[in-house]
């Protein structure tokens, strides 16, 4: 140990290594090693690119450096997932509404009207299984279809792009975003030095940075997020012709996110907020539903794109290739046992059915290996497919035998193929899986294709596609995150990247960080292109003005007007929302008509952050009493600060005055139920500049 640090050394580079009295080896080389090596001491010449058949070709199995790195990474945590540890899983079904028979032989995509059972798991990436539900984070969106032809796992995210272009960098990315290893914090957060240090040195991440700093990563509900397969896949038809495809899930309730301050406070009020909201919706019969859409394009069309579709940091906008809606997913059954199903479910992108194949996306190519390896480690057996949640619902048979936790009892003397000793043993079929016929040529090597070199064009396109409120949120999120970074050179490097995305954005962030002078723009290999805005990339613009799937909080107490409460509650329910009554005491409230009203939540433990809009119906006497109660003031003040519609009666007006809140079009009379319902369908975005300073 030197200066409090363990010194690791290479025995074969150290002539001073000595044999101890017990036969142990004492390694005495001091100092740090500056050369990156494999675990066998082999110096690595390229840690940025996996070995491919050609610059845009598939990743080669012989890449032992990639396999060693990812294998070690996959086995770092036992037993919870290394990433996507906190997840919520639900059973449901998929129903095809439009056939893709011209493009694929996959029955799930050709048999209209058939309902295929499935299991969907939505998760956060960075935190552990015990972390909170609402951090700023990417959400995993994984669907296991139990098809007639075997299981198909569509394993994606709620964001259509990713941080890195090559799977060999995935361990580095996750090591950077996870808790810093010397201190064990922060948990499930990107606002720290190691994450932004890595990002500042990885220009390919800039497009993803725009997405993670946007409202997409702080969703209001798991029922209100999109899902993306991220990569290009292939569909193969009966003639053997292949077509590229991107998969897209679109929520029927539309998109909706929280405000950052709101997300932080929700984490304190209910760390299971999103999971609980999904559970309660299904219990109430309000089943979450998504449209399933595809983007179909040929190689000839792809060649005309102003980017490379095999680059996972790029997306294909809906304006370039429109979405074709072909089906729907409905989630209608909560698991019977959380561990047995949600925790033990094992997704692998390599699980496909005949008629679906892979592209040469180098991130996807690495995932095809990594996920299976991870499941072997996490579930402890090559027989994890026999766990009920993972088992196909169609017949399956092969010659794989024995192994840890073998639950089946294969019979007969034959456990190989081909064989002549058994007529009934499983054999290969001409109707089975066929890979796409693709001609590959070129020089193998660790080469990043030139078509992957543009790191800023789509990042700029995403930013300019947002409306003014969303742009302000991105700028403020960057300022917040980078303000947590200790090292000035990292903050400067990030602002230098932002200058290549938007000078306005860079200046807003730089000013919010208090930079004395702006850095020069980061050097680029490829000049950024000017790409047209895409309204489909907005969040606020894709929020539906509806109360479907929303929840309204109504603050009442002893003496509250019974008629007013009933009128508001009836209108809220008729509009498709849920209404919850909040009061100072969980025992209930005696209303103006003498009836005892049951309370759904106690005021101190049920803050307004849990609701989409609030109503305050109080007698003036009780309002005066509550005007010195912090929980009551916070209830209405937070609702106002989080841009929610507020309906008040005379007592509510007193509480507004005590909270020193000004009236605006989002503050309404509790008796004008129709006006309140109209305003509750959206946020009061014009109020934001009055309640907080944005970058």
Identify the architecture of domain 547-691 in CATH.
3-Layer(aba) Sandwich (3.40)
Write down the pLDDT at residue 79.
74
Write down the pLDDT at residue 479.
98
454: left (phi over 0), alpha (psi -120 to 50) or beta: beta
Q: What is the DSSP string of 27-58?
A: P---S---S-B-TT-PBPS-SS---BSSTTSP
CB 610 within 8 A of CB 265: no
pLDDT tens readout for residues 595-614: 999 999 999 999 999 999 99
Spell out the domain ranges in the chain: 82-386, 455-541, 547-691
Q: Give the number of other Cβ atoms within 10 Å of residue 344's Cβ.
A: 19
282: left (phi over 0), alpha (psi -120 to 50) or beta: alpha
Tokens representing 16 are 């001073």
Please say if the pLDDT value at position 565 is more than 50.
yes
CA angle 157, 327, 338 (to 5 degrees): 50
Please say if the pLDDT value at position 658 is more than 80.
yes
Residue that has been written with the tokens 């998929």 in this structure: 94
Q: Which helix (H) or strand (E) holds 142?
A: strand 139-147
How far lies 275's CA from each of 97, 112, 600, in Å? 29, 32, 18
Residue 112 has what DSSP assignment?
Answer: T
Please say if the pLDDT value at position 320 is more than 70.
yes
Q: Give the number of other Cβ atoms within 10 Å of residue 54's Cβ.
A: 15
Tokens representing 216 are 């997409």
pTM of the predicted model, to two decimals?
0.90
pLDDT tens readout for residues 470-495: 999 999 999 999 999 999 999 999 99
Catalytic residues: 84, 157
Half-sphere exposure of 393 (CA within 13 A, CB side): 11
Q: List CB contacts of 602: < 8 A, sequence separation 6 or more.
A: 582, 583, 584, 585, 586
Q: In what order do the strands lie in the sheet with 646-648?
A: 601-602, 578-583, 551-555, 613-616, 646-648, 667-669
Q: Where are the alpha helices (DSSP H) in 543-684?
A: 562-574, 620-626, 630-641, 650-658, 673-680
Residue that has been written with the tokens 């509404």 in this structure: 97
Q: How far apart are CA 311 and CA 291, in angstroms?
A: 25
Q: pLDDT higher for 3 or 553?
A: 553
Of 2-6, 275-279, 589-593, 679-683, where does mean pLDDT reach its minimum?
Answer: 2-6
Identify the architecture of domain 82-386 in CATH.
Beta Barrel (2.40)
Chain-centroid distance of CA 449 in Å reads 27
Write down the pLDDT at residue 33.
58
In DSSP terms, 324 is beta-bridged to 294
Q: Right CATH number for 455-541 from 1.20.1370.20, 3.30.565.10, 1.25.40.10, 3.30.40.10?
A: 1.20.1370.20
- In SS3 terms, 416-429 reads as CCCCCCCCCCCCCC
Chain-centroid distance of CA 231 in Å reads 15
Average pLDDT, the chain: 92
- Distance between first and last Cα of the chain: 46
pLDDT tier for residue 401 given thresholds of 50, 70 and 90 = confident
Q: How far apart are CA 366 and CA 81, in angstroms?
A: 17
Q: How far apart are CA 477 and CA 218, in angstroms?
A: 11
Q: Can you tell me the mean pLDDT for 43-50? A: 85
Please say if the pLDDT value at position 6 is more than 60.
no
How far lies 24's CA from each of 14, 18, 19, 335, 400, in Å? 15, 8, 6, 52, 41
pLDDT tier for residue 78 given thresholds of 50, 70 and 90 = low
List strand residue ranges (DSSP E) for 316-407, in order: 324-333, 356-358
Please say if the pLDDT value at position 23 is more than 70.
no
Q: Can you tell me the mean pLDDT for 170-186? A: 95
Q: Can you tell me the mean pLDDT for 430-438? A: 87
Q: List CB contacts of 507: < 8 A, sequence separation 6 or more.
A: 518
């Amino acid at each position: 140990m030197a200066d409090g640090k363990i010194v690791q050394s290479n025995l074969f580079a150290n002539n001073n290594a000595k044999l101890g009295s017990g036969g142990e080896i004492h390694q005495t080389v001091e100092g740090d090693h500056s050369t990156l090596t494999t675990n066998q001491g082999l110096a690595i010449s390229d840690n940025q690119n996996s070995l491919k058949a050609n610059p845009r070709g598939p990743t080669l199995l012989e890449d032992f450096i990639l396999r060693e790195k990812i294998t070690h990474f996959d086995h770092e945590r036992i037993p919870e997932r290394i990433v996507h540890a906190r997840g919520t899983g639900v059973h449901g079904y998929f129903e095809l509404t439009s056939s893709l028979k011209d493009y694929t032989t996959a029955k799930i995509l050709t048999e209209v009207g058939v309902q295929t059972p499935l299991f969907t798991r939505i998760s956060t990436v960075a935190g552990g299984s015990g972390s909170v539900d609402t951090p700023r984070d990417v959400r995993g969106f994984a669907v296991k279809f139990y098809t007639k032809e075997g299981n198909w796992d569509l394993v994606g995210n709620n964001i259509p792009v990713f941080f890195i272009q090559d799977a060999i960098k995935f361990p580095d990315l996750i090591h950077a975003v996870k808790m810093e290893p010397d201190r064990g914090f922060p948990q499930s957060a990107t606002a720290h030095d190691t994450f932004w240090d890595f990002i500042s040195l990885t220009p390919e991440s800039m497009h993803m940075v725009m997405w993670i700093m946007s409202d997409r990563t702080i969703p209001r509900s798991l029922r209100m997020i999109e899902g993306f397969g991220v990569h290009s896949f292939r569909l193969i038809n009966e003639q053997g012709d292949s077509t590229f495809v991107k998969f897209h899930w679109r929520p029927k309730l539309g998109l909706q996110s929280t405000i950052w301050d709101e997300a932080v406070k929700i984490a304190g009020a209910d760390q299971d907020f999103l999971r609980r909201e999904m559970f309660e919706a299904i219990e109430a019969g309000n089943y979450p539903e998504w449209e399933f859409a595809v983007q179909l394009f040929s190689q000839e069309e792809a060649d005309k794109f102003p980017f490379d579709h095999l680059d996972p940091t790029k997306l294909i906008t809906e304006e370039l290739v429109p979405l074709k809606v072909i089906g729907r997913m409905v989630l209608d059954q909560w698991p019977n046992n959380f561990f047995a199903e949600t925790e033990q479910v094992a997704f692998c992108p390599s699980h496909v059915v005949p008629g679906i194949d892979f592209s040469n996306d180098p991130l996807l190519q690495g995932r095809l290996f990594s996920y299976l390896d991870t499941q072997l480690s996490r579930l402890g057996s090559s027989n994890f497919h026999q766990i009920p949640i993972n088992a196909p619902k169609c017949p399956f048979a092969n010659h794989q035998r024995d192994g840890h936790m073998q639950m089946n009892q294969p019979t007969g003397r034959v456990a190989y193929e081909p064989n002549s000793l058994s007529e009934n043993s499983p054999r290969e079929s001409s109707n089975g899986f066929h890979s796409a016929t693709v001609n590959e040529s070129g020089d193998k090597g660790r080469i990043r294709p030139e078509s992957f070199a543009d790191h800023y064009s789509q990042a700029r396109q995403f930013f300019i596609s947002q409306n003014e409120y969303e742009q302000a949120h991105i700028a403020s999120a960057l300022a917040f995150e980078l303000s947590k970074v200790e090292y000035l050179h990292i903050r400067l490097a990030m602002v230098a990247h932002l200058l290549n995305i938007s000078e306005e954005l860079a200046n807003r962030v730089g000013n919010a960080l208090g930079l004395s002078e702006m850095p020069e723009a980061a050097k680029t290999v490829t000049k950024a292109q000017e790409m047209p805005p895409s309204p489909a990339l907005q969040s606020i613009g894709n929020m539906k003005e509806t109360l479907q799937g929303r929840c309204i909080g109504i603050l009442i107490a002893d003496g509250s007007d019974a008629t007013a409460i009933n009128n508001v509650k009836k209108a809220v329910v008729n509009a498709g929302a849920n209404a919850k009554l909040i009061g100072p005491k969980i025992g209930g409230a005696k209303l103006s008509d003498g009836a005892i009203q049951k309370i759904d939540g106690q005021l101190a433990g049920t803050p307004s952050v849990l609701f989409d809009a609030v109503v305050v119906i109080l007698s003036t006497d009780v309002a005066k009493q509550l005007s010195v109660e912090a929980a009551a003031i916070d209830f209405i003040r937070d609702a106002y600060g989080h841009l929610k519609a507020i309906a008040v009666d005379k007592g509510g007006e007193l509480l507004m005055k005590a909270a020193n809140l000004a009236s605006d079009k989002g503050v309404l009379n509790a008796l004008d139920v129709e006006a309140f319902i109209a305003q509750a369908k959206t946020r009061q975005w014009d109020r934001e500049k009055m309640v907080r300073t944005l970058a």
